[in-house]
Structure 1
Amino acid sequence: MASYVANSVLNDSLRQMKSNQKDSKQNVDWDDFNYPPLIKVIHYNIDEVQPEYRLVVRSLWLSSILIVTYTLLNIIDNCIQAGYGLDGIRILYSFMFLFSFNPIQFFIFYRGYKGVVSDPYLLVLYKWVQILLMMCWITFSIVGILGFNGFILLPFFFDFLPFCGVLALFEDIILLFIVFLSGFALFRIWNIKE
């Protein structure tokens, strides 16, 4: 009898909690564009995320900030390398990365955030694009082609351009940290039902 009462109370509290979550999802004002601070093109408020997914959304947010950091560091590094006589086309590649990777990572952040807060169906595309991006970030942290300064180039840089080697090492560490954050978020989000 006691287990029946305990199960009944537990089920009632779970139903109440799910009802409160549905109510909070309906109260989100998606037309209140408040993020990023100066541009304000999307709605973002971490308080609207269920407590169990706040860390996931924060890791998505941090990975989008880190990709901005990576692309800016890549531009600086490739400009210095061009100044020392390496191919100047690397600077063009860096700007191409800036204008392609940042919007893609920002899209993934927003898609994951909105999917967690209100519409889990949005997470279907998020999951597959996130997997693709994680494979790209791992590859870019290893290879030394185009404007990427992967681990393969580190011995060359440390022998001839030590400062560029340190910058390239920071770039690679940032990419691997993005992979870690993205993998964590993907793992947690994978089980949310669409």
Structure 2
Amino acid sequence: MAAVLDGLLNQQAYKLFFQKWKGAPAKRYDRSFNGFWDDDTGGGEMKDLNSHSQNEPGRLDCYITGLTALCIPHPNRFKPFWHGIGPADSWTIGGDNYPHTSFVFGHKELIDVSEFLALSGIESPVTRCATYERAVFDLLYRHIEQRNQPVPNVQPEDINDVVDFDRIREWISAWERRGLLSHGSKMQNWLNGHR
């Protein structure tokens, strides 16, 4: 019953979230900046979704990632998984119960999901979320790079229609050349469907 209720609440939150985005001023994603151009700020000013005040505990250091991030809707994107995100104590949080990959990303590939969380009635000190691509990279990094084990609960064919695997492949190749990854070829194999 709890799972059904969680699903219904999340459906309502998704509906409200997308209704709000649908009626919101146009936002153009800029991949080089990892932010959105907000046409509502008077002249196309860039809003950096990755900058937060140092006085906000937990927001700068931790971020939602992995399977949890793949279950949260992102603006102007289809969601890879149609599951609810469950209770906050079960989320995968980079920098808490999951590896923090800022050594390669810095604060890029993170988005602010505070509005979605608020519409869902979820209070959380962690309101930044990995993009779907970074979330998949984090999954691969944790399971393949750090633990040398198969990635559980998700297969590439489940999400490759929504997640840009080519971007992830580029990151892996570049960071493997720099010596930051030891199991890059195994990560690439997972992305290619070879387990």
TM interval, short-chain normalised: under 0.3
More strand by share: 2
More helix by share: 1
Q: Which has the larger radius of gyration?
A: 1
Tell me the TM-score normalised to structure 2 length.
0.25
